[in-house]
Structures are given as C-alpha cells and as structure tokens.
Homo-oligomer: A and B are copies of this chain.
Amino acid sequence: MAGVSGETKDRLILAIAEEIDKQKERIKEVNSRDTDQASKIDLPSPMIKRLRLDDPKIADLTKGLRLLAQLEDPVGKTLLCTQLDDGLELYRVTSPIGVIGAIFESRPDALVQIATLCLKSGNAVILKGGSEAARTNVFLTGLIRRSIKQFTEIPEDIVQLVETRTDFTKLLKLDEYVDLLVPRGSSELVRYIKRHTVIPVLGHAEGICHEYVDADADLDMAAEICYDAKVQYPAVCNAMNTLLVHKDVADVFLSKLGKRYKEAHVQLRGDKKTRKILPYAKEAVERDWSTEHLGLILNIRVVDSLQQAIDHVNQYGSHHTDGIVTENTQNGKKFLREADSAVVIQNASTRFSDGYRFGFGAEVGISTNKIHARGPVGLDGLVTYKYVVVGRGHVVSSYVGSNAKSFSHRLLEKTWNP
C-alpha cells in the first residue's frame, strides 16, 4: 500500500461511491433486514435510527467519499529536509502507519467512512462493526472488496471484516500486526478497548468541556457563547458541561443567562454561590463536576480567580475542549497556555472543536490522547513518517577520529519525490 499512488487511491474511492449509488436499493434491502431484527429484539429507537441506511444517509455518504477523493494525498509529503553533508540528504516523509483496527457501533455508514479514510492514507484496515448491523456490514465490506479487486491491482485483503466477539478479542491481542486501533463510539467502548489491548488506541474519552467567564469578559458576548456552547447541540462531546464564572461578574451574568437557560429547559446544577443567585438551580454534587452530561444539564460554579478556574478545568475536565471569555489579553493567554486541553478557545464557543470546522476535510475522530494525535484528527492522524537518507557512498567512519569531517545540518527547501 505504501507504493500505491494517490491517483489510484482516489480512483478507488470514487469507484466505491459509484458502486454504492448503483446498489442503493440492494443496500437498503439488506439494511432493512438488520433494522427489522433490531425492532424485533426491541433495541432502543435511537440505536435503530443510527442503524438505518436511508436515501439521505446514503447520499451524504457518497458525497463524503467524493470530497475525500479530492483531498490531498496524506502520504509522501516532505515534512523536513536537511543537508547532513555534501551529497548526503535527510528527508522526513509521511508514510502509512500499516494496519489499522477500526471498531465502531451500530452505524454502518461509519464502516464505509473509516475504511475509505484508511485507504486514502495507505493503510490496511480490519473492521469490526456492531452485531446489530451484521448483514449491512457484510454487504458493504463485500462491495468495497469487489471494488478493490475490479478497479485496482491492490490485494482485496487490505480490507477485512471481523464479525464475532471471539475474533474481536483476538484482534485486540494482535499487537505484532495491528499498529493502531481507532474506535468510534461511546467512551465506554474506548475505555473497554484501552483496558484490553497493548495496541495504541486513537480515541476520545469523555468531553467534559468548560467555559470560564472572566471578570474582564464582555458579558453580552459571554452570554451568546455560553448559550451556544450548551444549547445549540447538547448531545455532543464538545458541548459545554460546566460553566465557571468569576465572582465579580457572577451576579449580573448568571441572573441574565439563567433566564435563557430556563426557557431552553436546561437543568442547572450549581454550587452554593450559584444557588444564591439562581435559587431554582439544583445543588451540584462532587460527582457532577466530572460527569459528562450529554444533554440539557449544566453545572455552574462561581470561582474566586482565573487560577481557580484553570485548576478546576485541569482537575475535573477531560482535556478535550475548554474556553475562556475575556477581553483581558494576559488572562486569555494564561488560560490558553495553562489549561491542559487538546483545544483551548478564547471568545468563541467550545462547539467549534471539530475536524470539519477546523478545515481538516475529513475527521477521523477527536482524540484526548496526548501523544500522536490530539484534538480533532484529520487524515494526518492515520499516517506516520519515515526518514529517507540519500547519499553517495557516505560512511560514518569519515566523521569520527582525528580527521573527522563535520556535518553541515543545513535546512533545505527540497521535497522528496517518492
């Protein structure tokens, strides 16, 4: 796969989109057998909704594939070029990681998305979907494998499907062969996987996100941001979980915003000071500060200082996305520097924390890992790099001892042409 050209990979992705369009009726038919079965065994309706592939979802999916094909090839990009000595050049070049294990729940469109992201980045992929989508997953994997066989010289086995729980357990043990696991699903799924494998996992934990309204905030701006961060779409990991307000502005700010939250049916859980201002807020218990609510529930705490806000974020947060609203440059910089989060935001909603909004073209996921890839992850989270050295017979013995040559270590503006 490391030798396959970007053009071939893009042609394949377009061919897969084409096949999906052509076989739309067949896909819906197979999928309806999964959803029928799911209804029979009384799966919760949001799960059935995620499971269902209808016309709009299929249209979104193929549109996404066509956009993916247009993105720049993430493989073979020169990140660094250094002349080590005359005729001896070093390049740091992006390259595929190898074999990705992709694990996802119920949504069968995720299978196609993650498989094509892996193809685009030159990786082989082993897919494991939810058993409730078994028929759809088998059909879609077959469609992708047939496209690989029909339209390229690549062995179709670079895309494989794992179906049983037993095989999934085996997959988690294949650390010699699988280079990275990419779970897409609940944080329970991610936690489970992390506990049961030594393979590196690219996955998010909870999104326990904060907005801190500083003493020097523009309170009108703060109100709009804090309303958006909680109410615009509360079911996602980048929605605000806890609002921190500086004591000097708590009275004015909370009185004003409390009303809007109430109208939007946000359940408030406050500390003692908050409840003096908003008596209708429930009491926040210790556990609330570290619980991801994923709904119209908001914790509120009045803090004495910027430092206390930063300490709260670092102690209770999930290192995902945290914001400050302030007009004070020094306070802003301190927060942005010291809040230990993948994404830190000044004067904008936490909801911007997203691969598409960040302009990455594709989103592999949002990572709360600290190493390899952090925050919203685009295609570059699915590649690594290698060093390429090209010489003209250079040997190390010339660079040691009494007549040792020395290295030039000069940055060059050259790119490696693979």
A interface list, Cβ under 8 A from B: 2-3, 82, 84, 88, 90, 97-98, 179-180, 194-195, 198, 200, 218, 221, 224-225, 227-229, 232-233, 332-334, 336-338, 340-349, 351-353, 357-359, 369-372, 374-376, 384-397, 399-400, 407, 409, 418
Contacts and interface: CB of A to CB of B under 8 A. Distances in A.
B395 A370 contact: no
Nearest to A351: B396
B390 A359 contact: no
B348 A391 contact: yes
B393 A348 contact: yes
Given A200-B371, A218-B393, A346-B388, 19 more contacts: A2-B338, A88-B348, A97-B371, A98-B340, A221-B392, A224-B395, A225-B394, A232-B396, A233-B396, A332-B390, A344-B388, A345-B391, A348-B390, A348-B391, A357-B396, A358-B387, A359-B409, A370-B384, A371-B371
Nearest to A376: B387
Task: Give how many copies assemble into the complex.
Answer: 2
What does DSSP make chain A's interface, helix, strand, loop or mixed? mixed
Contacts of A342: 386-387
B359 A228 contact: no
A-B pairs, 10 with minimum CB distance: A348-B391, A359-B409, A228-B395, A221-B393, A351-B396, A348-B394, A345-B389, A371-B372, A372-B372, A343-B387
A343 B389 contact: yes
A232 B395 contact: yes
A2 B98 CA distance: 33
Contacts of A358: 82, 84, 90, 387
A228 B396 contact: yes
Contacts of A221: 392-393
Contacts of A392: 221, 347-348
Nearest to A397: B232
B352 A393 contact: no
A253 to B, nearest CB: 15
A179 B232 contact: no
B370 A374 contact: no
Contact of A344 (B88, B334, B336, B389): B389
Contacts of A396: 228, 232-233, 349, 351-352, 357
A88 to B, nearest CB: 6
A26 to B, nearest CB: 33
A356 to B, nearest CB: 8
A30 to B, nearest CB: 32
A146 to B, nearest CB: 26
Contacts of A394: 225, 347-349, 352
Contacts of A224: 393, 395
Contacts of A344: 386-389
A340 B179 CA distance: 12
Contact of A374 (B357, B384, B395, B418): B384
B407 A359 contact: yes
Contacts of A386: 341-344, 374-375
Contacts of A336: 388, 390, 418
